């Protein structure tokens, strides 16, 4: 049964990744919000600091849909390519 679920998951991810329009946000008159955040885990909120992972989120406020993805580093080279997911004519809101 595990092989069947793995097969279905692979087919669905292939179909999702094949459709680039699903990952395009905004357009003329649309508001797109982009922000990054850090997630970490600590057991019972005490003890040593856990491994931190940075995430980047895009949200189209007009269409009410978004995307969250992990990023390796939070620098300009990593965050600028996100513009490929925003259509021309969008109003972009970010913290900087």
The answer to whether residue 1 sits within a structural domain is no
CB atoms within 10 A of CB 58: 21
The answer to whether residue 56 sits within a structural domain is yes
Could you give the CA distance from residue 66 to residue 69 in angstroms, rounded to a whole number?
A: 10
Number of domains into which the chain is organized: 1
Evaluate whether 79 touches 71 at the Cβ level (below 8 Å).
yes
The answer to whether residue 51 sits within a structural domain is yes
Could you give the CA distance from residue 42 to residue 63 in angstroms, rounded to a whole number?
A: 35
Distance, CA of 39 to chain centre: 13
Residue predicted with more confidence, 83 or 20: 83
Range of the domain at 31: 21-93
The answer to whether residue 7 sits within a structural domain is no
Segment 8-63, tens digit of pLDDT: 888 887 877 776 666 788 889 888 888 888 888 777 766 667 778 888 888 988 88
The answer to whether residue 53 sits within a structural domain is yes
Evaluate whether 62 touches 90 at the Cβ level (below 8 Å).
no
Q: Strand pairing of 91-93 and 31-39? A: parallel
Give the chain's length.
96
Question: Which two structure tokens, joined as six digits, stand for 33?
Answer: 């919000």
Q: Which pTM value belongs to this model? A: 0.65
């Amino acid at each position: 049964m595990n092989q069947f679920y793995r097969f279905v998951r692979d087919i669905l991810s292939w179909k999702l990744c094949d459709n680039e329009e699903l990952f395009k946000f905004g357009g003329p008159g649309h508001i797109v919000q982009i922000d990054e955040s850090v997630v970490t885990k600590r057991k019972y909120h005490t003890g040593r600091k856990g491994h931190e992972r940075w995430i980047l989120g895009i949200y189209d406020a007009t269409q009410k849909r978004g995307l969250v993805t992990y990023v390796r580093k939070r620098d300009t080279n990593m965050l600028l390519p996100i513009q490929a997911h925003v259509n021309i004519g969008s109003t972009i809101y970010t913290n900087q």
